[in-house]
């Protein structure tokens, strides 16, 4: 399969991280996840980490310029064949991404949109637990650990992400609706949006994403794909 440059889009808790990880492994793509990069900076207590910590705690977006700088540097580092997971999240970020890609003459092949309702998001995020030691992610409803609240991989005690508290979940959904949902239209107009029903079991979602990407690769090989 020819290498692909992809964006994964969807509300918080839609399964972007899980799907992006699986697809990146299967297709040999590099995954770029601003949320993880920012959480690491906060954990290490760097200057950037201190600057972004409060935004993250409140469930607000970090300023566009900061995120664009991080993404620009990461893209330069990894090259083509990537999945952007959790970026862009505003129209300004999408326009910034267009500029970065144009300057390098790199195409964006598709935007995989994982479609999940608000009710389902609230249910899922409330049940999410993470391992701070090894980064594993669980869901107490859909993918629980074998032993209650203990990481299967490394045995550490699982915790809720700070921004998965009910109050913050509501705030993040509100931010998503206002700032990020307009990107559905933005990419639909560019002919790049691939809509996937993300409410189904995660293996089925992976299957649908893979099928869609196979079709897309076929079109690219035949030269029928429009690069905006
Ligand atoms: P996530 O792990 O993707 O849910 O991101 C966690 C938090 O990191 C978000 O609530 C934001 O505060 C921040 N963040 C992650 N990605 C972005 C982005 N593209 N733009 C602005 N803030 C972001």
State the CATH number of the domain containing residue 90.
3.40.50.300
Does residue 166 belong to any structural domain of this protein?
A: no
Predicted local confidence at residue 118, as pLDDT: 87
Q: What is the pLDDT of residues 155-184, one digit of tens each?
A: 999 999 888 888 888 889 999 999 999 999
- Tokens linked to 11: 């509300």
Percent of the chain with pLDDT over 70: 97
131: in domain = no
pLDDT tens readout for residues 108-131: 999 999 999 988 998 888 899 999
Task: Name the token pair of 156.
Answer: 């550490």
Asked, for residue 26, whether it belongs to a domain, the answer is: yes
Q: How many domains does the chain have?
A: 1
Residue 27 maps to a domain: yes
Residue from 31, 89, 124, 129 carrying the catalytic annotation: 89
Residue 18's nearest CA partner among 205, 223, 216 is: 205
pLDDT tier for residue 2 given thresholds of 50, 70 and 90 = low
Residue 73 to residues 30, 34, 99, 108, 209: CA-CA distances in angstroms? 14, 11, 14, 17, 27
Rounded to the nearest whole angstrom, what is the distance from the C-alpha of residue 219 to the centroid of ligand 1?
32
Is residue 82 included in any domain, yes or no?
Answer: yes
In angstroms, what is the span from residue 96 Cα to ligand 1's centroid? 16
pLDDT attached to residue 78: 96
Which DSSP state fits 177? I
Catalytic member of 16, 31, 124, 129: 16
| pLDDT band (50, 70, 90) for residue 226 | low
Tell me if residue 172 is catalytic. yes
Q: Which two tokens stand for residue 18?
A: 């899980």
In a domain, 127, yes or no: no
Q: What is the pLDDT of residues 5-23, one digit of tens each?
A: 999 999 998 999 999 999 9
Q: Is residue 88 part of a domain?
A: yes
196: domain range? 5-117+179-222
What single-letter DSSP state applies at residue 162?
G
* Contact between 113 and 9 (Cβ < 8 Å): yes
Q: Is residue 130 part of a domain?
A: no
CA dist 180 and 60 (Å) reads 12
Tokens of 191: 């002919």
């Amino acid at each position: 399969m020819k290498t692909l440059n992809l964006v994964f889009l969807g509300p918080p808790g839609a399964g972007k991280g899980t799907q992006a990880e699986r697809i990146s492994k299967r297709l040999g793509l590099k995954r770029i996840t601003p949320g993880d990069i920012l959480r690491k900076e906060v954990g290490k207590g760097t200057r950037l980490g201190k600057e972004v910590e409060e935004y993250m705690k409140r469930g607000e977006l970090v300023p566009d310029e900061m995120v664009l700088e991080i993404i620009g540097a990461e893209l330069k580092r990894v090259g083509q064949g990537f999945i952007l997971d959790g970026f862009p999240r505003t129209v300004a970020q999408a326009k910034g991404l267009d500029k970065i890609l144009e300057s390098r003459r790199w195409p964006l092949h598709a935007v995989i949109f994982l479609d999940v309702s608000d009710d389902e998001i609230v249910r899922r995020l409330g049940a999410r637990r993470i391992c701070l030691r090894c980064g594993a992610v669980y869901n107490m409803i859909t993918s629980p650990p074998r032993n209650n609240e203990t990481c299967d991989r490394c045995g550490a005690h699982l915790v809720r992400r700070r921004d998965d508290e009910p109050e913050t979940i509501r705030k993040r959904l509100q931010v998503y609706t206002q700032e990020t949902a307009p990107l559905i239209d933005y990419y639909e107009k560019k002919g790049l949006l691939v809509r996937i029903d993300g409410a189904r079991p995660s293996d089925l979602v992976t299957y649908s994403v893979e099928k869609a990407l196979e079709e897309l690769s076929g079109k690219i090989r035949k030269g029928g794909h429009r690069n905006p």
